[in-house]
Amino acid sequence: MEKITKEKTDLYDSVLVAFLLALIGGFLDAYTYVVRGEVFATMQTGNMILLVIKGMKYNWALTWNYVLPIISFAIGAVISELLRDLLTKRKMKINWQQILLTIEMFILIVVIFIPDGSGNILATCLISIVAALQMNGFNKMKGHTFFSTMCTGNLSSGSVFLYKGIRKKDVQYLIKSLRYLGVIIFFILGAFLGSLIFQYTKALSLLLPCGVLGICFTILFFDKREIEVFPS
């Protein structure tokens, strides 16, 4: 058995927060695709592919629907790093990740009031910023990198840990694999819940991810705790 160490970790690193944020990630991607004109807010790879497809068909006017969310996502990533640099060294009652969550909730509430149709590009761009803030601010689960806004990286990591668990007959690797599986399931669950809710309400559907973000915000008030850290 490989050596197990112990270290302090913040609750933003917890499995529960990872699952809840994955739920939001799946919900928001379903929201922008179904409600806001078939554009992804979190999976920018998909937007890049759609951008090329539309460009090959000379639908130049439609390409902006994909270019602007990509740019917005990049802006969101820069904002998250800027806030990290500005806030991590300051003593505050809330940490910088909680500030990110607050900004996310505020932006989603603004999107609720943006009309369908003419406001779709603006709404998608704002949600792309939310996705970038979330992805950069919360990218660890029990010390390992994970993604709350997409599944490809999680699928790869989960598969590798599953292989290691079987080859080394180590249950700890299998547990890690199950965590990634859980993230993927919650992402899919978010998209599923969104698809159900959109049938009845579109404007107010974003209240669900706002509520989940509020739960994550509350969780982060808990103190640091000591966890066992297993080797990669």
Whether the pLDDT of residue 69 is over 50: the answer is: yes
What total number of domains does the chain contain? Answer: 1
* Tokens coding 191: 């998209």
Q: Using 50, 70 and 90 to split pLDDT, how confident is the model at 12?
A: low
Residue 102 · residue 95 · CB < 8 Å? no
- Helix ranges (H only) for 9-95 are 15-34, 44-56, 60-87
**pLDDT tens digit sequence for 147-203:** 888 888 889 999 999 999 999 888 999 999 999 999 999 999 999 999 899 888 877
Average pLDDT over residues 47-51: 79
Share of the chain above pLDDT 70, in %: 87
Residue 124 · residue 69 · CB < 8 Å? yes
* Tokens coding 153: 């990286």
What does pTM read for this prediction? 0.84
Q: Using 50, 70 and 90 to split pLDDT, how confident is the model at 131?
A: very high
> What is the distance between the alpha carbons of residues 77 and 112, in angstroms, rounded to a whole number?
22
* Tokens coding 220: 């982060």
Query: Residue 190 is part of which domain span?
Result: 5-229
What is the pLDDT at residue 8?
A: 47
Q: Which of 22-31, 97-106, 133-142, 223-232 has the lowest mean pLDDT?
A: 223-232
CATH number at residue 58: 1.20.1250
Tokens 């060294």 locate to 89
Closest to 109 measured CA to CA, from 218, 193, 215, 205: 205
